[in-house]
Amino acid sequence: MKQTTLRKEVRCSGVGLHSGQKVEMVLKPAPADTGVVFSLLTKSGRQIIVPEPGKVVGTGLATTLGTERAKVSTVEHLLAALVGLEIDNVLIEVDGQEIPILDGSASVYVYLINSAGVRMLDRPRQIARITRTLVFEQEGKRVVAKPFNGLKIDYHINFPHPQIGAQNFSFESTPLTFSHRIARARTFGFMKDVEWLQKNGLALGGSLENAVVFDDYGVVNPEGLRFADEMVRHKILDFMGDIAVGSHRLWGHFEVSCSGHDFNNKFMRYLFEN
């Protein structure tokens, strides 16, 4: 199994979920053993961040990677697309402090990566494999990790809302299954939370163009849902992005219940520390 990168660079721009400011981003091919590297344009020049569990410095609303010199938010959808399409090496140049939220899913990133094309490299892919069953749980949240030759995720959510409730989804990742079953699932939230966040200067880029929003009765978005269970599918998307901060691609069967960005990162820290 060989490592991969992009055949050519691709560009996109969009608003940041938190700031509401325009962000420019370029995905560039990278040599074997580079991994995923963020190059951030700051006032003091370009700063480099290589994802790892300990560099997750924020998990409110989105996953933020950072060092003392720079940080970049909302990385999870892009990282999930790289995992789902099995891209090992890429340089991500960002002009701003966030990855563009786009439509709130990973579908645009899938389009960009497919437009760039995938190139095989003459170096074997390195995999971090789950070798024994591990149970990690806190305060009603739970991840069970088991050995598996690939990436499989069984996810359970339960929200006290008439149009969400309990949802379950089982998914085995390949580029095709990721593109068709997971990538298009959008982030979601609740009208009362969105109003509070924006009054307090947060989620300034959030809108019905990049999120599924629920009021007390149902979906506010005029186009409705892309899948009846779009919410649990998006949680799988987030989980895939959040476990992409390890030093190598992670293989295993993960049974996840009621998790989120913060718990996902706690799990990753525990996994790689032990």
Three-state SS annotation for 61-87: CCCEEECCCCEEECCHHHHHHHHHCCC
DSSP H or E stretch at residue 264: helix 261-273
Please report which residue ranges of 150-250 form alpha helices under DSSP H: 175-177, 191-199, 230-242
Helix (H) or strand (E) holding 56: strand 56-58
Neighbours of 153 (CB within 10 A): 23
77 in active site: no
Closest CA to 153 of 259, 227, 20, 224: 259
**Residue of 18, 77, 253, 261 with catalytic role:** 261
Give the largest Cα separation in the chain, rounded: 54
Active site residues: 261
